[in-house]
């Protein structure tokens, strides 16, 4: 097995992409506000490398506000088809403007319009209001370029702790824990 948790994640993620029927990049993101009250939701992993794991959102959303107040998060991948999960914890930082612009430009046109139209996590009186805002954005931008909204960007979770969990018979699961140790990683096992 790999001694580098990022290399091991790459292996598991590639296997999940082959076996998971829906959204292998779906990940539960846990954040907490300044008072420590937690919140959990699903997001999509949009990139990962030695620097960390990237997702994008509206900066004025609940998660965006929580990360501004408490820049630390946990991620949980659960690949049911493989009977595996990966837990990642670490500090969070903003991606660069260039990274956010590049990813935003790769999104479908309707998704880009929706990012402009949505006041993510804010109360919405009815669906028709949102649909009207999307149409207003469609008219505003016409067939032209749709730039990234100023309130929309990405975050990178820099892993300090990564746990790999494998389901085993009789609930005798296997848990490998990697923790950041200077420039490298220390590794150990956890009881199931």
Name the residue among 87, 86, 73, 78 with its Cα closest to residue 155: 73
Question: Does the pLDDT of residue 69 top 90, yes or no?
Answer: yes
Q: What is the pLDDT of residues 148-188, one digit of tens each?
A: 999 999 999 999 999 999 999 999 899 999 999 998 999 99
- 8 Å CB contact between 41 and 63: yes
Mean pLDDT confidence for 96-122: 96
Question: Does the pLDDT of residue 24 top 60, yes or no?
Answer: yes
What pLDDT sits at residue 3? 83
Q: What is the pLDDT of residues 78-88, one digit of tens each?
A: 999 999 999 99
Q: List strand residue ranges (DSSP E) for the chain, in order.
A: 26-32, 38-44, 47-49, 52-58, 72-79, 84-94, 152-157, 161-166, 174-181, 184-190
Question: Does the pLDDT of residue 60 top 90, yes or no?
Answer: yes
Give me the percent of the chain exceeding a pLDDT of 70. 99
Q: What is the pLDDT of residues 119-158, one digit of tens each?
A: 999 999 999 999 999 999 999 999 999 999 999 999 999 9
Which residues carry out catalysis?
171
At 3 the three-state DSSP class reads: coil
Mean pLDDT of the chain: 95
Domains of the chain in start order, with CATH, are: 5-98+154-190 (2.30.110.10)
Helices 127-141 and 109-117 sit at what angle, rounded to 10 degrees? 120
What pLDDT sits at residue 2? 61
- 8 Å CB contact between 187 and 122: no
Question: Does the pLDDT of residue 1 top 80, yes or no?
Answer: no
């Amino acid at each position: 097995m790999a001694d580098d948790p990022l290399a091991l994640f790459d292996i598991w993620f590639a296997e999940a992409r082959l076996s998971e029927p829906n959204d292998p990049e779906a990940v539960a993101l846990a954040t907490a506000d300044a008072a420590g009250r937690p919140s959990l939701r699903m997001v999509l992993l949009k990139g990962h490398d030695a620097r960390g794991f990237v997702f994008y959102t509206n900066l004025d959303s609940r998660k965006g506000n929580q990360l501004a107040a408490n820049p630390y998060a946990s991620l949980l991948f659960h690949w049911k088809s493989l009977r595996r999960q990966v837990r990642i914890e670490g500090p969070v930082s903003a991606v660069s403007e260039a990274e956010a612009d590049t990813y935003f430009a790769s999104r479908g046109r309707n998704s880009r319009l929706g990012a402009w139209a949505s006041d993510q996590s804010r109360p919405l009186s009815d669906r028709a209001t949102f649909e009207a805002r999307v149409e207003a954005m469609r008219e505003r931008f016409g067939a032209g370029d749709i730039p990234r909204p100023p309130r929309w960007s990405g975050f990178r979770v820099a892993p300090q702790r990564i746990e790999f969990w494998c389901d085993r018979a009789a609930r005798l699961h296997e848990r490998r824990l990697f923790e950041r140790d200077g420039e490298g990683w220390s590794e150990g096992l956890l009881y199931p």
